[in-house]
Amino acid sequence: MNSNHDTTLPKVVFLILVFLIPLAPRAPAIAHPISLTEARVLVQREKITVKLSVFVEDLFLFQGIEPNKDNFLPPKAILEGRTKHQAFLLERFTIRDVEGILLSGKVVKIKDFEMPEQGIGMGELMDFSYTYDIEYPLEAPADYLTFSQRMVDETAGLPAETRMEVLQAGSDTPIYVTLFPETPETLPFDWSRPPLTSDASEAEWDSWYERRIEQELGITNYSSVYSFLYIEDYEVRHEILIPLLTLQSSVYIPRRDEAFLDLDEQEEARRQVGAFFAAGNPIVIDGVTVQPKVDRIDFYGVALKDFAQQAPAKRVSMANARAGIILSYSCKNTPNNVALHWDQFNDDIWRIGSTVYAFDEVKKHVFRRGMEENVYRWTNPGRPPLPPVENVRQLLPQREVISVYWYTLVALVIALVTGIALRMSSASRQMRISAFVIGLAVIAFSFRGPSMAFDDPLAKPPIVAEGDARDIVEILQQNIYRAFDYKDEDQVYDALAKSVHGPLLEEIYLKVQNGLKMEEQGGAVSRVRRVELVEGTIEGPFDWETGFQFRCAWNVEGTVEHWGHIHTRTSQYRAVLRIQADQNAWRIIELDVLDEERGILKTNLRRL
């Protein structure tokens, strides 16, 4: 074969390609495989101003602009697309207020660029951009705003990002957020203390951030799933806070309006959500898988006032609302081992930060999708079980009684009858003496065997000193409130019966239970942390039949814990009690509540 021919052929092919390529039709070239938008947001008290920078590429993608035969977008088509794109931006970039209501915006200005005479080439679409100034008027300063975007073509597979810089008026320190399609981001705005300026010290920033955590009660990320595990003496409780948008990936939440969950739709939503969580994330207590009781399911708006206390039921926004689920698992006494297995992941749940409150100990744990074992295990470090509630026998007075043997009583009766008979029969003196001696011997021999006892009618009732009365009442009050540590109603009644006379049981049960309820927390019964008798006076002497009367005042400090917060209230009661030594133990037989003063509810974070 000719070697010249071997080297000449590739050269000929190359020259042919060089001449043919310019003649081939050009395919439109997209300069970037992702739709990028930049947003600079200024939040003022009376309005929000958004500067949206949009590449010409987006006009090509969303406004149907076609390149000409030279592969350029014509200037006229670009200008028409620029005008049409206003409606697209107002529809696809949205801001919602604290109630989830869509704010109405208006394009007030478009910043142009110098248009090339021939138009813009397909390879230069990312080199030119328009800036749309959009204003959203506000009726009042915004406490929370929820931003979202849908800068995507549903028929195409291109991803989209909006890089957002948010600045609150009064600060020069912006917040940076990247918005992804259908993934809202909620931001808080504190007008009493806005973010600091850039020249603030580290200590000032630490103080500002700590205050924000306190204000937000530790829930600072509005798109995260939070898990709280409480381990107590008679109960394990699992509480979950989850955004509705995240939850709907796993649970069907029927609604008429995709943007809102209305009041009349929430009961069915509760049923669906409760069934979902009751069937997953099993908890094992001392080797036994315990079935949960769904205590409560609430739908919270984004505002702090909705979250810190039980808010009235209302319509909530799917964009920023969260579901709060409380599941309780009963146990007979202080558990030794508890295991929580998280198995409810979905496309939006990849990581769950869980906080464990085991009595006075606080720990953090993270569940991650893809791990071989997503289990948190707790072992009792040595906390003993709570002692049972016992009868109050301290300082119990003793009755003065007279005991008589039955044989002695019979002997005395026989001796009396015999003496009367001998006297009436004119028996001899010797016979009467013999009978008397025999009677004495029988009586002396009868001091044994079974006996009977009765109160000494001449004895005075014992005196109950005021100090002793205070001690008795303090123990009885401690017992009454301890009874409500139990979760089962029968156990509560059994414990109350140790300190309360039978006919009064139901009355005291209802009075104490109502006093411990925190209506702000949905009627949850608080756990008593402290009972303090602040004053007390005994009124009148002790009587065996009616006991003694005690006028007193006492404080009760109760707490309810939810979502990592402690809600504390101290209430004071004034009452007159009647205490009786009943069935060989002290019991309250009468209760007359004179006054009840419920303290202010205080809410704090439970810290590590």
DSSP string, 13-63: HHHHHHHHGGGSPPPP--S-SSEEEEEEEEE-SSEEEEEEEEEHHHHHHHS
User: Is pLDDT of 464 > 70?
Assistant: yes
Angle at 79 between CA 130 and CA 89, to 5 degrees: 50
Average pLDDT over residues 313-332: 90
| Residues 250 and 290 reside in one and the same domain | yes
Determine, yes or no, domain membership for 84: yes
Q: pLDDT grade, residue 205 (50/70/90)?
A: low
Domain count, the chain: 4
Report which of 88, 84, 324 is spatially closest to residue 225, judged by C-alpha positions: 324
Determine, yes or no, domain membership for 312: yes
User: Is pLDDT of 424 > 90?
Assistant: no
Task: Identify the pLDDT of residue 422.
Answer: 64
User: Is pLDDT of 591 > 90?
Assistant: yes
Q: pLDDT grade, residue 128 (50/70/90)?
A: very high
| Residues 271 and 360 reside in one and the same domain | yes
Task: Identify the pLDDT of residue 219.
Answer: 57
| Residues 152 and 97 reside in one and the same domain | yes
Determine, yes or no, domain membership for 595: yes
Which positions ≥6 away from 584 have C-beta within 8 Å?
Answer: 391, 393, 396
User: Is pLDDT of 4 > 50?
Assistant: no
Contact 19, 114 (CB under 8 A): no
CATH code, 508? 3.10.450
User: Is pLDDT of 30 > 50?
Assistant: no
Average pLDDT over residues 135-157: 85
Task: Identify the pLDDT of residue 450.
Answer: 75
| Residues 173 and 243 reside in one and the same domain | no
| Residues 412 and 372 reside in one and the same domain | no
pLDDT tens digits along 325-373: 999 999 988 999 999 999 998 888 888 989 999 998 999 999 998 888 8
Task: Identify the pLDDT of residue 557.
Answer: 94
| Residues 488 and 528 reside in one and the same domain | yes
pLDDT tens digits along 107-119: 999 999 999 999 9
Say how far apart CA 262 and CA 535 lie, in whole Å. Answer: 51
Of 470-474, 498-502, 523-527, least confident by mean pLDDT is 523-527
User: Is pLDDT of 271 > 50?
Assistant: yes
Task: Identify the pLDDT of residue 32.
Answer: 47
pLDDT tens digits along 276-291: 999 999 999 999 999 9
Q: pLDDT grade, residue 6 (50/70/90)?
A: very low
Task: Identify the pLDDT of residue 24.
Answer: 41
Q: pLDDT grade, residue 91 (50/70/90)?
A: very high
| Residues 307 and 431 reside in one and the same domain | no
Average pLDDT over residues 211-217: 55
| Residues 476 and 601 reside in one and the same domain | yes
Determine, yes or no, domain membership for 357: yes
Q: What percent of the chain has pLDDT over 70?
A: 79
Task: Identify the pLDDT of residue 183.
Answer: 84
Contact 401, 453 (CB under 8 A): yes
User: Is pLDDT of 168 > 70?
Assistant: yes
Q: Which amino acid is at 206?
A: D
Determine, yes or no, domain membership for 25: no
| Residues 250 and 361 reside in one and the same domain | yes
- Tell me the H-state helices in 223-336: 244-247, 263-278, 304-308
Determine, yes or no, domain membership for 5: no
Task: Identify the pLDDT of residue 33.
Answer: 52
Say how far apart CA 448 and CA 406 lie, in whole Å. Answer: 8
Q: pLDDT grade, residue 232 (50/70/90)?
A: very high
Name the average pLDDT for the chain. 83
| Residues 347 and 431 reside in one and the same domain | no
Of 144, 175, 195, the position where a domain reaches its end is 195
| Residues 447 and 470 reside in one and the same domain | no
Confidence (pTM): 0.73
Average pLDDT over residues 152-169: 78
Look up the domain containing 254 and give its range.
Answer: 226-379
Determine, yes or no, domain membership for 231: yes
Of 180, 195, 210, the position where a domain reaches its end is 195
Task: Identify the pLDDT of residue 423.
Answer: 67
| Residues 361 and 451 reside in one and the same domain | no
pLDDT tens digits along 427-459: 666 776 676 677 677 666 666 667 666 565 666
Determine, yes or no, domain membership for 171: yes
